[in-house]
Structure 1
Amino acid sequence: MFHEHMRARLSNKEYLNWIKAGQCLCILARGLQPFIDCEMRHFHADLLNHNTLLRRPCESFCRPSGNKLLEACRFCSEWQTTILAHHRQPQNTVNWDNCSPVSWRTDHWEVAKAFMPRGQGKVRGADQFDASALLNLINSCDWFHSVAPKPVREINVAVWNEQNVIRYRNELMHSSDFLVSDTWIKHYDSALRNFILLFRNVVPMRRAEQQIKQMLQADLSIHVHGLDQTDSDDIVTDFVHEINADSIVQWEAELLQQRLQEVLEETDQTSALSAEELKILESFFEANKDLGVRFSSQLQNMNLLRKSP
């Protein structure tokens, strides 16, 4: 029924650039996950070894109220103090509502989430965290600046992190029209390559580097025609061979879902999105009726938040 909207959308090169760039973030996250999981296990064990109070269970089922951790028991308070001591920007907002304090003693990821952006409360396990969460963890937790691969320790991590990969990620996810230019993609590619070089000794990151290179070089428009014709002689690598029209549509849906979730959080918590940005988003979904139907509940919630006083 909405086949024409999908075809028109996926024939736009700048829109396909947006999808490709988003998929690169997923590849990057998969490359980082094993390394970060291992390091957070070591970090958690190190904290427990150096402070016996952290080994004691919570006394009163402590949990955040909003984004505050108030009236915590003495053991959860000790965890809170310890986390802040290892936070590179403790003066910034620490998202305590990401965490379940009762699990700090036993779950290294519950500790890790205190160093991540908001919205991680329901996330469990290394393979569920996206690139933004993992990049912010590396940037915020001082453990990584003592144990990370040597090149990371030799440069100003805040510069390459915040001004490069995280900045490009935020530009991508805050593109209200979901379009990015070829020039932007070239700069993005350079930022990703420079970041991955810092982890050249991490095997999954070497694999991620190759997959990101193939993704950015792939002509997704070839595979869009796979809506009618699925095979192409232009497919030259195993990774690219796995791409088909269905996978592109799935990447699109996942990226849009993530963007709409961020819109809801931003509008609910900070009212950061302007009326103009919301109008552009609405116009996009009105013009692409298949997506408007697919994401109707999120769009309805977004409108309710915008109209609320």
Structure 2
Amino acid sequence: MVLEELRDRLNESGYKNWLKAGRCLLILQQRLHPFINNQMRAFHGDLLNQNPLLRRQCGSGTSCSRPRGNKSGALTGLCTVCSEWGKVILKHHRQPDATVNWDNCSPPSWRHNHWELAKAYMPRGQVKVKGADKCDASALLNLMNYCDRFRSIDTRPVREVIRCRNELMHSCELSVSDEWMRRFESSLKNLVRQFRHVPEVGMVEQQIDEMLGVDWSICVSGLDQMDAADLDVLESDSASQWETSADSISQWEAEVLRERLEELLCDAETQDMEQLTRLGDFLQANRDLAELFSAELQAISSLKARE
């Protein structure tokens, strides 16, 4: 039954496109993790070496742990050391007049934790994120877009991929067209080609080609006669001959859907009940997904009951 439901979903070309695009972003973020982590660790070390004041401990402790700021980027109510960190962060912000999400950070940790520094350049909602490997593509791309540590990277394709990612994740129908996919593929490749010299990222373009080229048509003929092993076989595209197990596709699907669910459920300030309801209805209509995301569906029900 699980395989049949997965097959039915993948027979919808728009949903299949949506899922493939989401998987490409997961590949991108996984490959970017070590590169960005190393860059931010080096950046953090450079800042400490350049400014002795930044090496001192926070002078207020708990009073600095919940930073307050405004849309001009200014921080208020911090000790001398944490205030200096705030000034340095803005100095290295490519758009210092933009909104800075200070509440992502714990200023007393800026001295010893390079990832707390990185989170100042990210979208809100990162407060509990402890490292690069826990960040989604949006967080990593925004970091590259705003922090001048990455000044050697052309930000135009970065912003284009951010735009595509937002369009993908905010699709109420969980569906994108073939034309959208062509634009997405072009944007993604324009970005990753800048990293050809980076060993950790070098294979991304090939992986994206494989992901976008595979057909993902599931062979389910004679379901009653096939054993469990046979049910887990997929027909690969004749050009790529790339075979993938149904378990792998199901796992990728769960990862992409979980990212969208977490984004909708965690951001209380911009909670979109219409999108949550649509996504909940989609999950409920597919028994395998309803079982997998039962806790999230309960959370959606609780939110709807409060309206």
Q: In 2, are the aligned partners of 1:22 and 1:255 still within 8 Å (CA)?
A: yes
1:63 aligns with 2:65: yes
The residue type paired with residue 112 of structure 1 is A
Q: Give the match for residue 228 of structure 1.
A: 231
Q: In 2, are the aligned partners of 1:55 and 1:105 still within 8 Å (CA)?
A: yes
Q: In 1, are the aligned partners of 2:213 and 2:240 still within 8 Å (CA)?
A: no
Q: What's the offset of the Cα at 1:187?
A: 1.0
| Aligned with residue 184 of structure 1, among 177, 180, 187 | 180
Q: What's the offset of the Cα at 1:209?
A: 1.0
SS at match of 1:143: helix
| Aligned with residue 143 of structure 2, among 137, 144, 152 | 137
Rounded Cα–Cα distance in structure 1 between residues aligned with 2:93 and 2:294:
39
Does 1 or 2 have the higher relative contact order (CA < 8 Å, sep 6+)? Answer: 1
1:175 aligns with 2:171: yes
Q: What's the offset of the Cα at 1:119?
A: 1.9
Change (3 A) 1:203 1:3: closer
Spell out the pairing of 1:29-68 with structure 2 (5 A cutoff).
29-61=29-61, 62-64=64-66
Q: In 1, are the aligned partners of 2:189 and 2:205 still within 8 Å (CA)?
A: yes
Spell out the pairing of 1:107-126 with structure 2 (5 A cutoff).
107-126=113-132
Q: Give the match for residue 202 of structure 1.
A: 198
With 168-177 and 198-207 compared, the bigger mean Cα shift is at 198-207
Q: Give the match for residue 93 of structure 1.
A: 99
Moved segments of 4+, more than 6 Å: 66-69, 223-227, 235-238
Change (3 A) 1:3 1:237: closer
Q: In 2, are the aligned partners of 1:224 and 1:245 still within 8 Å (CA)?
A: no
Q: What are the superposed Cα offsets for residues 204-259 of structure 1, whole Å, 9 maximum, x if unpaired?
A: 22211111111110112247888714265758879x44x31111111111111110
Q: Percent same amino acid at aligned positions?
A: 50
Q: Give the match for residue 214 of structure 1.
A: 210
With 221-230 and 283-292 compared, the bigger mean Cα shift is at 221-230
Q: What are the superposed Cα offsets for residues 81-113 of structure 1, whole Å, 9 maximum, x if unpaired?
A: 211221122333222222222221112111001
With 54-63 and 209-218 compared, the bigger mean Cα shift is at 54-63
Q: In 2, are the aligned partners of 1:18 and 1:172 still within 8 Å (CA)?
A: yes
Q: Give the match for residue 245 of structure 2.
A: 244
Rounded Cα–Cα distance in structure 2 between residues aligned with 1:39 and 1:190:
26
Q: Give the match for residue 226 of structure 2.
A: none
With 294-303 and 177-186 compared, the bigger mean Cα shift is at 294-303
TM-score, with structure 1 as normaliser: 0.84
* Unaligned stretches of 5+ residues in structure 1: none
Q: In 1, are the aligned partners of 2:68 and 2:76 still within 8 Å (CA)?
A: no
Q: What's the offset of the Cα at 1:6?
A: 3.3
RMSD (CA atoms): 2.7
Q: What's the offset of the Cα at 1:116?
A: 0.8
TM-score, with structure 2 as normaliser: 0.85
* Unaligned stretches of 5+ residues in structure 2: 222-228
Q: What are the superposed Cα offsets for residues 245-295 of structure 1, whole Å, 9 maximum, x if unpaired?
A: 1111111111111101111234x2124x263x3443233123223322322
